[in-house]
Each structure stands twice: as structure tokens, then as C-alpha cells.
């Protein structure tokens, strides 16, 4: 009889389960990243956090990393009670009067970070009245980039690259204003990093100079003797840069390399610089050491990744605004008034021993 009762209970439970509808498991969708409105960002480093949200850890990795140890050792000397209402940031470079000395430097394959790639960067830079240097390893056709540009446009190529002749021909077609030749970094953006102090292929520089009527600027100079040699080989300007190809994250800042190079080539040869520029104060420090212009790379890509052309414009304009603000705080009204007395270099800290 006990067996019959147990069987009846089991049948009743089965009947109850049959009458209860199945409940689907709760599914929680992952919302898209919530970006801060671009107009609410106050400083350029905030764009990096927004780029991380959009790209995720793997895709954002190539545009992370910087070494600020040198930059942070340099302070500025303020001057009060100076009339700065006539502030003018105009920078004459390579035949054009630039709105400010801040340009967007060459970054390869920008469609990694945004669907419109270099075309969006060109629109954003032009909206900020800033020149752009287009990488020879760009992900968009140079003609399309040129069509999106209203500011001065430059092209970049690697010394010894098999694409040199094609790049020079395209540069002429789109009426680029100058050619930047990268040395000491292989023959493409995908090439592995070269050893520090690797010899420069001067014959390749001369080949570029002979292959174009445009001004040639040698990018990748870190030593005064190399700067002099570049000018001797026909360069009309140099870029102080320690980029050696591959991942450039963690390279020591370049600010203290600028003054010796400026002294080596003289006042008539423009010296530009790139590497870990994040704030308007960084730009002013470079100008104090004699640089005529600054190229920005990663910050522009943060803006591109997070907000497209509008983000590039925002990054550049924030740097422009900050440069003007801090020039006024130092009592400076034009770039010609910037001099070494503006900056002070503090001694490097020695790590404590355990």
C-alpha cells in the first residue's frame, strides 16, 4: 500500500510540473560603452580613457604608453602683470603660416581605431586648423585624405622603403607641402624595432631629396651630428624623435634632446619634435628649448577612436587652448618671444636603495 501512495504522490508532482510553464533564463545584454560627451572633457589624457572604452584592451594597446619622466622634471616660470591681449600663436613652417605650432603626426593604419581612419583624422585636424602628416602605411587612399583636408598636408615615408617613388608621385599629385622621411625605424610601420643608435642610411635620404621638388624633413634625429648631416644631405628640417619602429611605448621623452639639435643646425633650419606630448605645457617646454613645432600621435588617435573627426578636433583644440593659456601665464604673446628662460630643468631623482 505504501508503494501505491508513493506512486500517487510522484504522479501528482509530475502533473503539477506539466501545468507550470517553463521560465526562460534571464538574459542581460551588454550595453555599448557609455562615453562622456566630448565637450565635457577637460584635459587631453581624458580622451585615453574614452578610447579604452570603445576599443577594448587588445585594440587600444598600440596607442597606449608614454614616458613622462623627462617632461615632469621641467617646470615653467610664470610672469605676472604682462599685457597678453595680443596673443598670436602663428608658426611659419615650410612656406605656410600655421595657426599654431601643433600638428598631427603620422600614424599607420588608422582604420584599426575608427572606420573612417585617416579621412576622419584629416577632417578633424583641418577643423582645428592643424596640419597633418600622412603615414605611408595609411589605411585610406592619399587622394581621399587630401580631399578631406583644408590645412597643410604632408606625407611620410620610410628611408629605403620600396614605396618611396610611388609615395613621392602621390605627394605631387595631391599637392602635399613637404615629405617627412623616417630614419632608424625599418622600412615600414610593421617592421620590428631597430636597435638604438643604428646607422642612418644617408644614401636613402639623398634619393628622396633628388626624387622630389618638395622640402624634405628627416624624422628620427636624436644626435646633433646626425642633424647636421641631414641638412648637409639636403634636408630642410628635422624632427627630434626616438621612434625606432615596433612598439614605441615606454621610450624616454625627447625634450632634452631638442636644444642640442637646434644648436647644431642653426636658427634657419626648423626643428620639430614628437614623443609623449599630452598637455599644452609640454608643447611650451618644447618651444622653450628651440623647437618650431610639435607632432602629436597617440592623443589624436584617442580622439579618433572615441569620437571620430570631432575627437581629433577636440584633442588638437584642447592643446592649442592650453598652449595659449600657459603662454599668457608666462607673459608671452608670440612664439618669437619664447626662449630658454621660460623653462627650468630639475635634477632627476635617484631611486632609493633597499
**Mean pLDDT value across the chain:** 90
Q: How confident is the model at residue 348 (pLDDT cuts 50, 70, 90)?
A: confident
15: pLDDT strictly greater than 60: no
Q: How confident is the model at residue 247 (pLDDT cuts 50, 70, 90)?
A: low
Domain assignment present for residue 245? The answer is yes
265: pLDDT strictly greater than 80: yes
124, 102 in Cβ contact below 8 A?
Answer: no
Domain assignment present for residue 33? The answer is no
DSSP string, 161-222: -TTHHHHHHHHHHTT-SEEEEE-SS-SSTTSPPPPTTPPP-HHHHHHHHHT-SS-EEEEEE-
Q: How confident is the model at residue 41 (pLDDT cuts 50, 70, 90)?
A: very high
Q: What is the mean pLDDT of residues 81-107?
A: 96
Q: Specify the residue for cell string 573612417.
A: 116
User: Whole-angstrom Cα distance, residue 278 to residue 281?
Assistant: 8
Quote the domain boundaries for residue 130: 42-191+199-345
108, 138 in Cβ contact below 8 A?
Answer: yes
Q: Can you give the CATH number for the domain in which 75 is found?
A: 3.20.20.70
293, 93 in Cβ contact below 8 A?
Answer: yes
Domain assignment present for residue 255? The answer is yes
3-state SS assignment for residue 10? helix
User: Whole-angstrom Cα distance, residue 173 to residue 281?
Assistant: 37
Rg from Cα positions in the chain: 27
The DSSP secondary-structure symbol of 38 reads G
121-141 pLDDT per residue, tens: 999 999 999 999 999 999 999
pTM of this structure: 0.88
65-78 pLDDT per residue, tens: 888 889 999 999 99
Q: What is the mean pLDDT of residues 229-234?
A: 98
Number of domains in the chain: 1
Domain assignment present for residue 56? The answer is yes
Helices (H) and strands (E) in the chain, counts: 11, 12
Q: What are phi and psi of 182, to 5 degrees?
A: -85, 125
Domain assignment present for residue 14? The answer is no
Q: How confident is the model at residue 33 (pLDDT cuts 50, 70, 90)?
A: low
Q: What are phi and psi of 271, to 5 degrees?
A: -115, 120
Parallel, antiparallel, or unpaired: how do β-strands 343-345 and 74-76 relate? Answer: antiparallel
Amino acid at each position: 500500500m505504501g508503494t501505491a501512495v508513493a506512486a500517487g504522490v510522484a504522479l501528482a508532482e509530475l502533473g503539477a510540473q506539466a501545468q507550470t510553464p517553463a521560465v526562460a533564463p534571464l538574459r542581460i545584454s551588454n550595453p555599448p560603452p557609455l562615453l562622456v560627451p566630448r565637450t565635457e572633457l577637460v584635459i587631453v589624457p581624458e580622451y585615453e580613457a574614452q578610447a579604452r572604452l570603445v576599443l577594448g584592451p587588445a585594440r587600444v594597446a598600440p596607442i597606449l604608453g608614454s614616458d613622462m619622466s623627462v617632461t615632469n622634471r621641467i617646470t615653467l616660470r610664470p610672469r605676472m602683470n604682462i599685457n597678453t591681449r595680443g596673443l598670436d600663436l602663428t608658426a611659419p613652417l615650410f612656406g605656410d603660416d600655421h595657426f599654431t605650432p601643433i600638428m598631427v603626426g603620422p600614424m599607420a593604419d588608422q582604420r584599426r581605431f575608427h572606420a573612417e581612419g585617416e579621412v576622419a583624422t584629416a577632417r578633424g585636424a583641418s577643423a582645428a586648423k592643424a596640419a597633418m602628416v600622412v603615414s605611408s602605411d595609411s589605411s585610406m587612399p592619399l587622394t581621399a585624405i587630401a580631399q578631406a583636408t583644408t590645412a597643410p598636408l604632408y606625407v611620410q615615408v620610410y628611408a629605403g622603403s620600396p614605396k618611396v617613388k610611388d609615395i613621392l608621385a602621390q605627394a605631387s599629385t595631391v599637392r602635399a607641402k613637404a615629405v617627412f622621411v623616417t630614419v632608424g625605424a625599418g622600412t615600414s610601420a610593421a617592421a620590428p624595432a631597430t636597435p638604438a643608435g643604428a646607422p642612418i642610411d644617408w644614401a636613402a635620404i639623398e634619393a628622396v631629396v633628388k626624387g622630389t621638388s618638395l622640402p624634405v624633413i628627416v624624422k628620427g634625429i636624436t644626435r646633433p651630428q646626425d642633424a647636421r648631416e641631414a641638412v648637409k644631405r639636403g634636408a630642410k628640417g628635422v624632427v627630434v624623435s626616438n621612434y625606432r619602429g615596433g612598439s614605441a611605448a615606454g621610450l624616454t621623452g625627447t625634450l632634452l634632446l631638442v636644444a642640442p639639435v637646434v644648436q647644431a643646425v642653426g636658427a634657419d633650419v626648423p626643428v620639430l619634435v614628437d614623443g609623449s606630448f599630452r598637455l599644452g605645457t609640454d608643447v611650451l617646454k618644447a618651444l622653450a628649448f628651440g623647437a618650431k613645432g610639435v607632432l602629436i600621435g597617440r592623443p589624436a588617435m584617442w580622439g579618433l577612436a572615441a569620437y571620430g573627426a570631432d575627437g581629433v578636433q577636440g584633442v588638437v583644440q584642447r592643446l592649442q587652448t592650453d598652449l595659449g593659456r600657459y603662454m599668457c601665464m608666462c607673459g608671452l604673446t608670440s612664439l618669437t618671444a619664447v626662449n630658454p628662460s621660460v623653462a627650468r630643468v630639475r635634477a632627476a631623482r635617484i631611486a632609493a636603495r633597499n
